[in-house]
Amino acid sequence: MADITVMRYLYFTILCLIVLISASTHSHAAMGMDTPAKQAIVIDYDTGLVLLEKNADERMPTSSMSKVMTTILTFDALKQDHVKLDTTFLVSEKAWRKGGSKMFVEVDKSVKVEDLLRGVIIQSGNDATIVLAEGLAGTEEAFADAINRKAHELGMDNSHFMNASGWPDPNHYSTARDLSKMAVSLIRDYPEFYPIFSETEFTFNEITQPNRNPLLYRDVGADGIKTGHTEDGGYGLIGSGSRDGRRAIVVVNGLSSSKERATESAKLLAWALQSFENKAVISANQPLGDAPVMYGKSKTVAASVSKDLVLTLPKLGGDNWTKTVKLKDSLTAPIKKGQEVGSIVIDVPNLYSIERPLIASNDVEELGFFWKMIENARIMIMGK
């Protein structure tokens, strides 16, 4: 066991050294990263900032990565007390006959929801997925409709699901960006169930199968999420992990082999966790400029962000970011504290550019009628 621990430590150390060496030979550290994946996205979980993207909005087959949506709907049903973990669902012939990866449930037998979830998450069982879908919605088709409604709720507007398992269908697709939104929801909204995704094996019907996620066997801080593969879409993976208080999410797809999928996803997750840090760069209520106000008892109102602005920045060269404050020039009193009065644009070279709203730091009362007349006269004579 000690030897295994040492090997895992050495593996992660070597990955980190590769990242840092690459960073030292390219300006701005993290900017030299690339991937052979056809579609990819890497985000910081806490800030939501995109660290790498490649064809992230390109529609692609989602394969077994779709099964995360099946687990999310099951978690919803559990949280709403529609079912319990020890609720049993009957295995239909359709579920039993389904090809591909299996949990090996038996037709006409009843299986607990808790076991079916592990059969989906750990063993990627198409049979278990259909049993859950039929048990929760009556038919897999009705369950797919429920998945689409949930996807819309999560802002997955470039996704469409035809079944619960990700079985190939020309009208079953998603994007790397949408799958990252799904992953964020999974981790954020279901903390009591998410640890199942880090379990490395599951035994059912006297058959033990390992978790198919290769990241769990590499010391890169991974604790999920799901692999997938189709002939048309190639090899894909949604991965997440944390280290030193930060969490990252990686989505890759269109890779040529399971080996390449394992290598690329581990590389990207290690890079995201090792090469970046989160910094609060602007404090809430920190004055960022004065926006002009017409007909106010004050001629201006201070602009600020509503909460601390936290950026995900490269550890090397991370101070090389710029901000541009854009204030509205047509504000008219009264102004309420918290009202939007402009925006701030943050640019991190070769990484991302984001725009966030600026709000009024205080109220500005409206002038009375007489003083408005005086102000109008002044404007007519002198202009604004």
Distance between CA atoms of residues 9 and 47, nearest Å: 28
- pLDDT reading at 19 higher than 50: no
> In whole numbers, what is the pLDDT of the chain averaged over residues?
92
- pLDDT reading at 9 higher than 80: no
**All residues at 6 or more sequence positions from 334 whose CB lies less than 8 Å from its CB, including other chains:** 296, 363, 364, 365, 366
Domains in the chain, start-ordered, CATH in brackets?
Answer: 32-274 (3.40.710.10), 280-382 (2.60.410.10)
| Predicted confidence (pLDDT) per residue in 109-152, tens digit | 999 999 999 999 999 999 999 999 999 999 999 999 999 999 99
Share of the chain above pLDDT 90, in %: 85
For residue 375, the model assigns a pLDDT of 67
Q: Are 74 and 174 in contact (CB under 8 A)?
A: no
- pLDDT reading at 20 higher than 90: no
User: Which candidate, 263, 268, 213, places its Cα nearest to that of 237?
Assistant: 213
Between 30 and 80, name the one with better pLDDT.
80
Q: Which of 19-33, 126-140, 148-162, 223-237 has the lowest mean pLDDT?
A: 19-33
DSSP secondary structure of 99-111: -SS-----TT-EE
Name the pTM for this structure.
Answer: 0.88
- pLDDT reading at 199 higher than 70: yes
Share of the chain above pLDDT 70, in %: 91
For residue 29, the model assigns a pLDDT of 33
- pLDDT reading at 200 higher than 90: yes
User: Which candidate, 372, 293, 282, places its Cα nearest to that of 339?
Assistant: 293
For residue 193, the model assigns a pLDDT of 99
Distance between CA atoms of residues 222 and 313, nearest Å: 21
Active-site residue numbers?
A: 64, 67, 124
- pLDDT reading at 10 higher than 60: no
| Predicted confidence (pLDDT) per residue in 317-338, tens digit | 888 999 999 999 989 999 999 9
Structure confidence at residue 30 as a pLDDT band (50, 70, 90):
very low
Structure confidence at residue 383 as a pLDDT band (50, 70, 90):
low
Q: Are 287 and 305 in contact (CB under 8 A)?
A: no
